[in-house]
Amino acid sequence: MREIRPLRQEDWNDYVKISMNAYPGMRVNTAVEQDRLRNRGQRMNADPTITFYGLFENGALRGVMRLHDFTMRLHGVDLSAGGVGAVAVDLYHKKRRIAYDLIQFFLDHYRERGAPLAVLYPFRPDFYREMGFGYGRKMNRYRIKPADLSGDGRRENVVPLTNRDRHALVACYNRFMAQNNGLMALSDFAVHTFFHSPKLRLAGYWQDGLLRGYLVFRFEPLGEDNFLRNDLVVRHLVYETPEALRGLLAFLHSQADQIERIILHTQEEDFHLLLADPRNGRAALMPSVYHETNTQGTGIMYRLIDLPRYFALLRERDFGGQTVRLRVTLADSFYPVNAGSWLVDFADGRARLGESGDYDVEIRLDVAEFSSLAVGATDFRRLMTYGLAAISDRQYIDTVQRLFYTEKKPLCMTAF
């Protein structure tokens, strides 16, 4: 018999065994490394928003996952979202639908708690797309020569942050979160990691006594043969004002004497506008003639788990000022409770779930694509162009485009 429940004290040794075999790349082999993995798991589990679950068969642990109770700022509204990470199945029990049961449990768990969305980072995008998760905004990796960043910002306003600045950092992030779309509130565990990880450094930009931006970064040696050659890897860049951005960039610019490249990860597509030379150092040209500026990857995925709740929570959002009775028909083979048709009545952009009845137009699509649309990671016209959505009356394409369009594509800076 299968049971899924939170891990208890006596389960952590088995958790370590399953995880170390599921993620050999983490190189957990020695007793010390195993202790470290267990302690880290237990420390995370102590955060009230994080819980490790196990799937047990007749009492034996077969699979694990970590659930995160997130608050996401979506289209200007704070709502709950469920996150899952560290999914791992016992090496000897793969392909027995253990991951399937874990993910079903995960979706039910958050649906019952009123979350309209679930999120995850996929180990393989296709595995989770089949389960109905849609792509979020892509991540860009820039490899910038420090001298190519502008040095004219107010570097004197940039100072290292210490544990005393915790509240200022959280307040700055919260304001940044309010300005943007899709960001999730910082967990205590994440803030603790920023300030206590021996590898991480924090640089903050202060303006009139307020922290207006910060960088979380670390150094990465370029090789064994010369310890003086390092890259500087920026994990987070948060800024509320152009001055804060330019100040932080000036700080990075000033590292030119010692740092080969700033490795900067950002979901902003336009970052090359900030670089004197936008090329990332790879000489090969793309036809004809395009210079490589950054590499890109897809990561964070979103999944709608409760369409009525999504529209109920976003009742104050302006869906493009449109007035239309829209029928949404979702295909959801993995989670059938979420499949079906709904009538959404938009009046001057405000959405209300309607009773079944007349409608102006119907759209039909898979939950994965609707999820990308619902968070603003893609737009309806693109889905139509790619044949990933269908519409009952093509004259309404522009209306539906305007309903879901947002210039603020979703950001995610939460590692889990």
Q: What residue ranges bind ligand COA (CB under 6 A)?
A: 22-23, 87-89, 94-100, 122-123, 130-131, 333-334
Give whichever of 102 and 250 is closer to ligand COA, judged by the CB atom. Answer: 102
Helix (H, G, I), strand (E, B) or coil at 171: helix
Q: Any idea which residue has 């959405």 for tokens?
A: 351
In the complex, the smallest distance separating the C-beta of residue 178 from ligand COA, rounded to whole angstroms, is 30
Give whichever of 125 and 349 is closer to ligand COA, judged by the CB atom. Answer: 125
Report the first-to-last Cα separation within the chain, whole angstroms.
30
In the complex, the smallest distance separating the C-beta of residue 276 from ligand COA, rounded to whole angstroms, is 39
Give whichever of 129 and 138 is closer to ligand COA, judged by the CB atom. Answer: 129
- State the Cα–Cα distance between residues 291 and 269, nearest whole angstrom: 15
In the complex, the smallest distance separating the C-beta of residue 109 from ligand COA, rounded to whole angstroms, is 16
Q: What share of the chain is helix, strand, coil (3-state, %, to 5)?
A: 35, 35, 35
In the complex, the smallest distance separating the C-beta of residue 198 from ligand COA, rounded to whole angstroms, is 26
**Cα–chain center distance at 405:** 19
Give whichever of 15 and 396 is closer to ligand COA, judged by the CB atom. Answer: 15
Give whichever of 98 and 412 is closer to ligand COA, judged by the CB atom. Answer: 98
Q: Are 97 and 333 in contact (CB under 8 A)?
A: no
Helix (H, G, I), strand (E, B) or coil at 37: helix
Give whichever of 23 and 219 is closer to ligand COA, judged by the CB atom. Answer: 23
In the complex, the smallest distance separating the C-beta of residue 244 from ligand COA, rounded to whole angstroms, is 34
In the complex, the smallest distance separating the C-beta of residue 64 from ligand COA, rounded to whole angstroms, is 9
Give whichever of 122 and 349 is closer to ligand COA, judged by the CB atom. Answer: 122
Classify the C-alpha dihedral 273-276-282-286 as positive or negative. Answer: positive
In the complex, the smallest distance separating the C-beta of residue 367 from ligand COA, rounded to whole angstroms, is 9
In the complex, the smallest distance separating the C-beta of residue 365 from ligand COA, rounded to whole angstroms, is 15
| Sheet with 77-89: strands ordered across | 2-6, 50-57, 60-74, 77-89, 117-120, 301-304, 134-135
The DSSP secondary structure of 93-141, one letter per residue, reads GTTSSHHHHHHHHHHHHHHHTT-SEEEE--SSHHHHHHTT-EE---EEE
In this structure, what token pair is assigned to residue 169? 């950092």
Give whichever of 95 and 164 is closer to ligand COA, judged by the CB atom. Answer: 95
Helix (H, G, I), strand (E, B) or coil at 277: coil
In the complex, the smallest distance separating the C-beta of residue 15 from ligand COA, rounded to whole angstroms, is 13
Give whichever of 66 and 246 is closer to ligand COA, judged by the CB atom. Answer: 66
Q: Which residues contact 257 (CB under 8 A, 6 or more apart)?
A: none
- State the Cα–Cα distance between residues 409 and 415, nearest whole angstrom: 18
